C-alpha cells in the first residue's frame, strides 16, 4: 500500500485522537495520562501561526501517523523555534513512515523561516532516538526522572536541529 503525506484537515481530528490515544495508553512517548479530546487536535490543525503544522501520513485514506509542530515557549523571543512531535499507529511503526512524515514537517518549518526545532524523546525509545539523529538532530541534554507514568520515573532526552 502506498503512503501519502498531506496537511491535516479538520476531518482528521478523530483519527489523531485514535493514533495519539494509543500512545497515551501504551507507552511513555507522551506524558499525557488521558486522551486529549478532538478539540485539542482541531486547535492545532487550524492554527495559522507561522511554524505551526500538522502533517498526516495516510494509507488507503486512513491516517496511520502524524507529525506536528507547535510553539516551543510563549515568549516572543522563541517565535522562530518550534517543538516537534510524531506519533504512529502500531501498524505503521518500523516501515519508514515516521521518517517521511517528520521530514515533510521539517521542510514546512524551513519554508516558514523557522530557525530551530526542538524534540523531547522519553526514554527508552531507541527508534525515535535513531530517527531524530538520522535527521540531523543533536542531543543537547537529558532530564532525569522528570515524568512519572505507569508507576515509574521516566527520563527525557532533548534534541535540537538548527533549520538554516
150: left (phi over 0), alpha (psi -120 to 50) or beta: left
> Which pLDDT tens digit goes with each residue over 67-108?
999 999 999 999 999 999 999 999 899 899 999 999 999 999
**Which CATH number is 52's domain given?**
3.40.630.30
Are 42 and 66 spatial neighbours (Cβ–Cβ below 8 Å)? no
Per the structure block, which three cell numbers stand in for 25? Answer: 495508553
Range of the domain at 108: 3-162
pLDDT for the residue 1: 67
Count structural domains, the chain: 1
> Which ranges of the chain have pLDDT less than 50?
none
Spatial separation of the C-alpha atoms in residues 161 and 152, rounded to whole Å = 29
Amino acid at each position: 500500500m502506498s503512503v501519502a503525506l498531506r496537511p491535516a484537515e479538520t476531518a482528521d481530528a478523530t483519527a489523531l485522537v485514535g493514533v495519539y490515544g494509543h500512545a497515551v495508553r501504551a507507552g511513555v512517548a507522551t506524558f499525557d495520562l488521558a486522551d486529549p479530546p478532538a478539540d485539542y487536535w482541531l486547535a492545532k490543525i487550524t492554527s495559522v501561526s507561522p511554524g505551526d503544522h500538522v502533517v498526516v501520513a495516510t494509507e488507503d485514506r486512513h491516517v496511520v501517523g502524524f507529525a506536528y509542530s507547535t510553539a516551543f515557549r510563549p515568549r516572543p523571543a522563541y517565535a522562530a523555534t518550534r517543538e516537534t512531535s510524531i506519533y504512529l499507529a502500531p501498524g505503521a511503526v518500523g516501515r519508514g513512515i515516521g521518517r517521511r512524515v517528520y521530514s515533510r514537517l521539517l521542510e514546512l518549518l524551513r519554508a516558514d523561516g523557522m530557525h530551530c526545532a526542538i524534540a523531547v524523546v522519553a526514554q527508552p525509545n531507541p527508534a525515535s532516538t535513531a530517527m531524530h539523529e538520522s535527521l540531523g538532530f543533536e542531543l543537547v541534554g537529558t532530564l532525569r526522572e522528570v515524568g512519572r507514568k505507569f508507576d515509574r520515573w521516566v527520563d527525557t532526552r532533548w534534541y535540537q536541529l538548527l533549520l538554516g
